[in-house]
Amino acid sequence: METEQTLVLIKPDGVQRGLIGEVIARYEHKGLKIVGMKLQQLPRNTAEALYAVHLGKSFYDVLIEFMTSAPIVALVIEGRGAIDLVRIINGETDPKESRPGSIRGDFSVNITHNIVHASDSPENAQRELDIVFGPEECYKYNRVDEAILHPTIV
């Protein structure tokens, strides 16, 4: 399993409900590394670029309005299998299908207001990261527990 990066957005409902620390802790406790982070009010054109794949769908306008309605926290998360791990930690997009213990299973009840967004593939991760972060906004460092989390013999 190779090291990869993925985009996570803590959506306006997660920020407004004071869940930033709880959400970040879940990724870090799993051994994933935060290599980029910023709090921002998502500009409309950025939200439209991120969700362009949904243009024309019935929920598109509601999603764009919601994502630009209050600040979000954007994260670049790095680790072995980060894309799949983040999606497991997040739970299903529809919180009614999410298991207890996942972010969505524990904190959300609505498919739009579901606390977090995460990239679903390496291609989308790269596209989304390029929209939200510049290369100068990501940092390289080692966690002190990396040797334990990622031994050379697997």
| 20 in Cβ contact with 14 (< 8 Å) | yes
| 11 in Cβ contact with 66 (< 8 Å) | yes
Dihedral angle over CA of 38, 134, 50, 29, nearest 10: -50
Spatial distance between the Cα atoms of 110 and 125, rounded to a whole number of angstroms: 24
Spatial distance between the Cα atoms of 17 and 15, rounded to a whole number of angstroms: 5
Which residue out of 29, 54, 117, 150 is catalytically annotated? 117
Catalytic residue status for 150: no
Q: Could you tell me how many helices (H) and strands (E) the chain has, helices first? A: 8, 4
Residues labelled catalytic: 117
